[in-house]
Amino acid sequence: MAKQNVAEQFVDILVRAGVTRMYGVVGDSLNPVVDAVRRHSGIEWIHVRHEETAAFAAGAEAQVTGHLTACAGSCGPGNLHLINGLYDAHRSMAPVLALASHIPSSEIGLSYFQETHPDQLFRECSHYSELISNRRQMPRLLQTAIQHAVGRSGVSVVSLPGDIAAEPAPEQAAEHALVTSRPTARPGDEEIEKLAAMIDEADRVTLFCGSGTAGAHAEVMEFAEKIKSPVGHALRGKEFIQYDNPFDVGMSGLLGYGAAYEATHECDLLILLGTDFPYNAFLPDDVRIAQVDVRPEHLGRRTKLDLAVWGDVRETLRCLTPKVSPKTSRRFLDRMLKKHADALEGVVKAYTRKVERHVPIHPEYVASVLDELAADDAVFTVDTGMCNVWAARYITPNGRRRIIGSFSHGSMANALPQAIGAQFTDRNRQVVAMAGDGGFSMLMGDFLTLVQYGLPVKIVLFNNSSLGMVELEMLVAGLPAHGTTNHNPDFAAVARACGAYGVRVEKPKQLAGALKDAFAHDGPALVDVVTDPNALSIPPRISADMVTGFALSASKMVLDGGVGRMVQMARSNLRNVPRP
């Protein structure tokens, strides 16, 4: 048997850690690793058109499977392109191992062609980022990187010069045991007792849930039933907590709806469960707050806490629920549930009025029809911006569907590359990318990746020919929209030119049929839906500053001769104004 080189040893270790794909773009410094992947039956090289796509795809695969994934970039510009997708994966707590190939080791520090310092560059978006400077380092250093990524749920980066990758391995890699899963974290008895006492003393308890409630749905429902608590959620908690939830009062935050804001402000004890909710303006400052999180650095960094509990949400609730006394009064819970129902009813009445005949098409209508027609176990990948709003408000979770986006990093252009990673995990599972025209066009080249690999991803393009969320932010700031208009091609024609299915929808009556046809197509498909460019999201709670900003913006539109646009915007958005 021929002696292994370092690259082959590297790939062997990745495969033993459960990695089955490596996303990337080839380059000369990566050649030894790419060739090792080619010759290994347990791993596949996924050729994308942009390294940013590679990182997003790896992050999405990790979020769908919960397992370690990998991406790679060649030296200099190649691995620089990984950085945005790695930031997203890291902030989404997705275990990803990134290989940053490097220039020849003898040239490091001498301003060689394409030289960067990747071990330093990626430190802010990783738990671990180190350079392999000697072939003997590789097995232990890679093992350490893997254990950081898996154990701390995030990104690890290994920088490997191409010449070292091609060197003979000094010996067969020792069969080190690798960490491939995380333990649960149980809080101490003292914290459990303190939290139980706080709950028993309180009359009105509200639970506010984030992504840390994944796998804890049953425990949250049992706990809420015992203490008669409304249950609100952040965007990242929606897919894990909203379904089969008789205590649901909606979502808080800029994209929120329902009565979650009221429930978190009118309680006398707020318990944050597995959420690092960043918008402290939507959190109360005059009620007692306890927070439960498996990441200790999350505790108390958004708001002042009366109790911090370090632990896994499911394990914490299993310990806590038997300790609390059952509450009998449903007065607060029922009042919040009624507020939630009233708020939703008002929005539904406004939304459904003549919506099937409205041209341009309401984006809410697109999301609603998509929700009805998509599979019960579909994976939705959602572009940052207005698509986030429509997914948050109209896509219905059920415990089997997944909703993935750049919810913590907030990057544009995430839906298409994340759909690639999600689809590779299971070609028979429906994957739907809810993409905006701005985000899709930013990384549109990787539509070709769908065609090249025959991935049956369905792209539903919310085409309002603008950067809608940025436009909203300008209006809130009192500024007229500027620089937000996109001059777009016929995206359906582009899809067909690439060899995929493409259809353009301009009238509401065409929508359901177009989606059904796209879903029935056995390969990649794109539905280009022309949506109302004046449709903006109104937050669930409108501040005086927002009102002032809109008023200033409207005044500037009038002065600039934009009266028609202002009137159209008002008509388009009356249906989105939150009801009391």
pLDDT digits (tens, 9 = 90+) for 103-113: 999 999 999 99
Instruction: Output the pLDDT for position 438.
Output: 97
Contact 273, 212 (CB under 8 A): yes
User: Which of 373, 375, 370 shows the shortest CA–CA distance to 387?
Assistant: 370
The DSSP letter of residue 169 is P
Query: Mean pLDDT across the stretch 349-370?
Result: 81
Q: Is the pLDDT of residue 230 over 80?
A: yes
Of the pLDDT bands very low, low, confident and very high (cuts 50, 70, 90), residue 348 is low
> pLDDT grade, residue 146 (50/70/90)?
very high
Binned at pLDDT 50, 70 and 90, residue 564 comes out as: very low
Q: Which two tokens stand for residue 437?
A: 């025209």
pLDDT at 566: 31
Give the three-class secondary structure for 499.
coil
Query: What 3-state DSSP class applies to 421?
Result: helix
Residue 580: pLDDT band with limits 50, 70, 90: very low
Q: Does residue 551 register a pLDDT over 80?
A: no
The pTM for the full model equals: 0.91
pLDDT of residue 578 exceeding 60, the answer is no
Residue 476's pLDDT band (cuts 50, 70, 90)? confident
CA–CA distance, 78 with 52 (Å, rounded to integer): 9
Q: How far is CA 91 from CA 155, 236, 406, 409, 430, in A?
A: 9, 12, 9, 6, 25
Distance of CA 124 to the CA centre of its chain: 19
The pLDDT, as a whole number, for residue 573 is 41
Arithmetic mean of pLDDT, 206-227: 98
Single-letter amino acid code for the residue at 563? V
Asked whether the predicted pLDDT for residue 182 surpasses 80, the reply is no
Calculate mean pLDDT across residues 515-544.
84
Query: What is the average pLDDT across 224-244?
Result: 97
Q: Which 3 state secondary structure label does DSSP give 524?
A: coil
Give me the percent of the chain exceeding a pLDDT of 70.
Answer: 89
Q: What is the dihedral of CA 432, 435, 440, 443, to 10 degrees?
A: -60
Cα(212)–Cα(209) distance, rounded to whole angstroms? 7
To the nearest whole percent, how much of the chain has pLDDT over 90?
Answer: 81
Residue 345's pLDDT band (cuts 50, 70, 90): confident
Region of residue 109 (phi > 0: left; psi between -120 and 50: alpha; otherwise: beta): left
What pLDDT is stored for residue 550 in this prediction?
41
The residue to which tokens 């190939």 are assigned: 101
Give the whole-angstrom CA distance, residue 429 versus residue 423.
Answer: 7
pLDDT at 517 over 90: yes
Q: Per-residue pLDDT averaged across 482-486, rounded? A: 93
- Nearest of 471, 479, 478, 467 to residue 546 by alpha carbon: 478
Amino acid at 223: F
Is residue 392 a contact partner of residue 71, using CB atoms and an 8 Å limit?
no
pLDDT band at 283 (very low <50, low <70, confident <90, very high): very high
Is the per-residue pLDDT at 246 higher than 90?
Answer: yes
Residue 518 pLDDT > 50: yes
What pLDDT is recorded for position 350?
56
pLDDT of residue 359 exceeding 80, the answer is yes
pLDDT band, very low/low/confident/very high, at 542 (cuts 50, 70, 90)? low
pLDDT at 555: 44
Q: Is the pLDDT of residue 339 over 70?
A: yes
SS3 call for 426: coil
Residue 141 C-alpha from the chain's centroid? 29
The yes-or-no verdict on residue 539 having pLDDT over 60 is no
Q: Across residues 424-435, what is the average pLDDT?
A: 99
User: Rounded to whole angstroms, how far apart are CA atoms 553 and 323?
Assistant: 54
C-beta of residue 32 within 8 angstroms of C-beta of residue 80 = no
Given the DSSP bridges, would you call strands 269-273 and 431-436 parallel, antiparallel or unpaired? unpaired
pLDDT value of position 281: 87
pLDDT at position 347: 64
Query: Can you tell me the distance from the alpha carbon of 439 to that of 179, in angstroms, rounded to the nearest whole number?
Result: 36
Task: Tell me the average pLDDT across 146-160.
Answer: 97
Quickly state the pLDDT bin for 170 (edges 50, 70, 90). Answer: confident
Secondary element (H or E) of residue 293: strand 288-293
pLDDT given for residue 358 in this prediction:
86
Instruction: At 14, list the tokens.
Output: 């990745």
Token pair recorded at residue 479: 């500024």
Would you say residue 544 has pLDDT above 80? no
Under DSSP, the state recorded for 303 is: S
> What is the set of domains in the chain, with CATH numbers?
6-166 (3.40.50.970), 189-340 (3.40.50.1220), 354-576 (3.40.50.970)
Whether the CB-CB separation of 56 and 48 falls below 8 Å is answered with no
Over 90: is that where the pLDDT of 11 sits? Answer: yes
Mean pLDDT across the chain:
91
> What confidence category does residue 472 fall into, taking pLDDT thresholds of 50, 70 and 90?
confident
At 356, is the pLDDT very low, low, confident or very high (cuts 50, 70, 90)?
Answer: confident
Q: In the predicted model, is pLDDT for residue 398 greater than 70?
A: yes
